[in-house]
Structure 1
Amino acid sequence: MLALEGDAQIAWLGEKGLPLVDELALEFDDGFRLVPTFIERGWLNATALPVLAEIDQHLSFMSGEHNAGLWQVEALARRTEWNQVRMLARTALTLLA
């Protein structure tokens, strides 16, 4: 979901009835926690791990009360921070393929 364009992310949130942008980060976090196990079992290539870790770090930097504006629906389409997350997510997908 993080690799989708901002308008597609907004549509996905609407379809799922999820009013909060942080659902995108929570979904990523759920999967990211499984990555070490998936690599260990040979289900994922470890080459994507640094990029996935960078996404996790970027989302962490975006967190906090001082960044509350980043977690508004309209920020998905307008803020460069979300463009960076999308770029990293697309890179990770190519490494996972």
Structure 2
Amino acid sequence: MGPDEIALEFDDVFSLVTGLVGMGQFGEQVLDALRPVDEQLQRMTDSRKEVWLESAVRSASEWRELRILAKSAEDEIRRLFDEPLGGRSRPHEGPSVES
């Protein structure tokens, strides 16, 4: 996957999550966790073309910052989905089955 495809994939995910938040499937906190990544990608899009070269992914400060932001977003989303939801099952778990 090339650098530009990473941005396009994220944009697809961000749009999907935005829709799910609008439908009440996810809380606004999920979007809050993803926004810094989206903003960094937008800054990169508005900046120099060289940032989108394959070699830049490993060496450019913009990509280092993006990795840090993405890891932070991942950690926050994992935390959000691991929190109990007022006694209900978590959004990533189905109902328990009693034997």
Identity %: 32
Which amino acid is the alignment partner of residue 25 of structure 1? A
RMSD of aligned alpha carbons: 1.8
Give the TM-score normalised by the residue count of structure 2: 0.67
Shift of 1:50: 2.2
CA distance in structure 1 between the partners assigned to 2:56 and 2:42 by the alignment = 16
Does 2:64 correspond to 1:83?
yes
Q: Do 1:70 and 1:76's aligned partners in 2 also have CA atoms closer than 8 Å?
A: yes
Question: TM-score, structure 1 length as denominator?
Answer: 0.68
| Deviant stretches of 4+, over 4 Å | 40-43
Instruction: Give the unaligned 5+ runs of structure 1.
Output: 1-12, 14-19
Greater relative CO, 1 or 2 (CA 8 Å, sep 6+): 1
Greater displacement, 41-50 / 22-31:
41-50
Structure number with bigger Rg = 2
Matches within 5 A, 1:1-97: 13=1, 20-41=2-23, 43-64=25-46, 67-97=48-78
